[in-house]
């Protein structure tokens, strides 16, 4: 539970520094014999405490939301069970280093679970540290996995200190080791943040306008509410235009219409406003394409969760189709096994993932390059890094977290944008339907913010032109090496 309490929105990230110690003590007491069971129990409590909000989803039936939460928690907890199994085995086999292998194994599990269809990166321990800006600056080198590694390593050091105290041995060395582990990233991050003034003066700037309409997502799709919703967006856009932004951003599926296809004439209406204001507009929208089946020759429609860019006098110049879809919410994975779910009317979507890593080129006001991450996209470090590699100077995150109400879900989701900014030294402008909308600088500092369930607009200046980080240039080198080292420890135990 200590691990879970360290996650947003609670300002208790420091609890994660010793949240694994009860597990270590239990494993030591049983001589590593029940690692899987203890890991699974730990995982159930940890996972339930962090992602309980899955069960609050207002986009489906209450029973379906609760059932999906129970199944998700039961499945995700297997990751911690695997961690417990391996550490228990290493402890039981007497591999030199013992519990010091924990950080390697934990990061190995975090990294390996980033692959495959049923990917869910949300339980990374790095998310617990987003409120501590000096600590997370190491993510520019290691990615988020380096922060998780540090948290588990600190847990291990404090456990060694506690073990020495329990055994009535000198704990001075263990205390100094724990202190050194704590201070290294803190000192590095402090140095990085103190060097900001010189870097800020050399940066290029773009003024971004954010619209947060705060509309009930269930009501938005109602045919009678459609015109009212568009009128609201029109009004808020005119309001933010008075602050002379270089670009305006609407949230995910801001208009419940296939804008690119000009459904209900909304494309023409938006273009008219964009022309009148002389300001580009990026908005989320449903999209549809057709695909010809080479085997049957049939043409099938494909639906997408997308973003489109309107430019004055040019129209819709580019679009991006969401790549990382939410399993069982936006599509049904492994349809041979779970195909029956698609036949149930539970509010799930039937989207097709996009393939193109779009970099939007704004040319009408200022010349700037950006990419858009739609909702779940923003929790995937590798995807955002690839946008950066393709030439994006900054990131627009558009989302609709209204489905999860006042739960911790929207706060945790917003925190990922801070981590993405630090990893890539890339500013982030976040437009969320019901909040939390933010403008974040390349070091993770929130410059502007609209709170949850607040209707409004905001404008802020972002700094672009920063050079790429080690992480953005080389990727998950750190986590790959750590995973190999962890596998080496496991192999060592097998061969002993």
What is the C-alpha to C-alpha distance for residues 114 and 377, in angstroms, rounded to an integer? Answer: 13
What is the C-alpha to C-alpha distance for residues 91 and 30, in angstroms, rounded to an integer? Answer: 10
- The catalytic residue among 163, 324, 330, 375 is 375
Phi, psi angle pair for 60, to nearest 5° = -145, 180
356 counts as catalytic: no
First CA to last CA across the chain, in angstroms?
35
- The catalytic residue among 110, 163, 220, 322 is 322
DSSP state of 30: T
375 counts as catalytic: yes
Give every CB contact of residue 23 below 8 A, 6+ residues apart in sequence: 38, 39, 42, 84
In terms of DSSP bridges, do strands 204-212 and 456-464 run parallel, antiparallel, or are they unpaired?
Answer: antiparallel
CA dist list (Å): 308 to 244, 384, 478: 21, 18, 35
- The catalytic residue among 252, 324, 330, 423 is 252
Phi, psi angle pair for 36, to nearest 5° = -65, -45
Q: Pseudo-torsion of CA 288, 292, 296, 300, nearest 10°?
A: 10
Q: Both tokens of residue 155?
A: 């847990």
In terms of DSSP bridges, do strands 247-249 and 281-292 run parallel, antiparallel, or are they unpaired?
Answer: parallel
322 counts as catalytic: yes
What is the C-alpha to C-alpha distance for residues 83 and 89, in angstroms, rounded to an integer? Answer: 10
> 398 by DSSP, 3-state: which?
strand
Displacement of CA 205 from its chain's centroid (Å)? 25
Active site positions, annotated: 252, 322, 375
């Amino acid at each position: 539970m200590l691990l879970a309490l360290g996650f947003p929105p609670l300002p208790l990230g420091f609890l994660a520094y010793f949240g694994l110690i009860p597990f270590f003590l239990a494993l030591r007491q049983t001589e590593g014999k029940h690692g899987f069971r203890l890991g699974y129990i730990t995982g159930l409590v940890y996972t339930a405490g962090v992602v309980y909000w899955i069960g609050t989803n207002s986009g489906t039936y209450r029973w379906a939301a609760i059932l999906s939460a129970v199944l998700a928690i039961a499945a995700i907890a297997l990751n911690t069970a695997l961690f417990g199994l391996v550490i228990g085995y290493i402890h039981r086999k007497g591999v030199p280093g013992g519990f010091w292998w924990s950080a390697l194994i934990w990061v190995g599990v975090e990294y390996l679970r980033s692959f495959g269809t049923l990917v869910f990166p949300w339980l990374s321990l790095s998310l617990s540290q987003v409120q501590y800006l000096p600590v997370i600056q190491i993510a520019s080198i290691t990615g988020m996995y380096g922060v998780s590694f540090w948290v588990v390593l600190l847990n291990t050091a404090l456990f060694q200190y506690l073990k020495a105290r329990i055994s009535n041995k000198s704990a001075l060395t263990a205390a100094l080791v724990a202190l050194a582990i704590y201070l290294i990233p803190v000192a590095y991050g402090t140095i990085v943040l103190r060097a900001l003034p010189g870097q800020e003066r050399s940066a290029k700037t773009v003024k971004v306008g954010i619209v947060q309409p705060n509309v009930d997502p269930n009501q938005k799709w109602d045919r009678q509410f459609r015109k009212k919703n568009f009128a609201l967006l029109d009004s808020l856009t005119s309001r933010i235009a008075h602050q002379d932004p270089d670009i305006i951003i609407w949230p995910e599926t801001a208009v419940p219409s296939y804008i690119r296809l000009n459904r209900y004439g909304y494309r023409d209406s938006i273009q008219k406003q964009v022309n009148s204001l002389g300001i580009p507009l990026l908005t989320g929208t449903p999209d549809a394409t057709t695909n010809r089946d080479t085997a049957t020759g049939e043409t099938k429609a494909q639906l997408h969760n997308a973003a489109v860019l309107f430019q004055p006098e040019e129209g819709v110049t580019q679009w991006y189709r969401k790549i990382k879809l939410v399993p069982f919410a936006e599509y049904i994975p492994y349809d041979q096994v779970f195909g029956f779910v698609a036949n149930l009317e539970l509010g799930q979507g039937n989207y097709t993932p996009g393939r193109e890593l779009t970099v939007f080129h704004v040319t009408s006001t200022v010349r700037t390059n950006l990419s858009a991450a739609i909702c779940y996209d923003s929790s995937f470090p590798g995807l955002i890094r690839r946008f950066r590699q393709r030439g994006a100077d900054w990131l627009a995150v558009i989302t609709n977290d209204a489905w999860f109400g006042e739960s911790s879900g929207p706060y945790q989701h917003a925190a990922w944008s801070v981590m993405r900014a630090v990893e890539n030294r890339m500013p982030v402008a976040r437009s969320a339907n019901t909040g939390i909308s933010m403008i974040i600088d390349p070091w993770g500092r929130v410059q502007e913010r609209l709170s949850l369930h607040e209707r409004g607009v905001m404008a802020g200046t972002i700094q672009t032109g920063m050079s790429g980080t080690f992480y953005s240039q080389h990727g998950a080198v750190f986590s790959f090496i750590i995973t190999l080292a962890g596998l080496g420890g496991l192999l060592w135990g097998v061969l002993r």
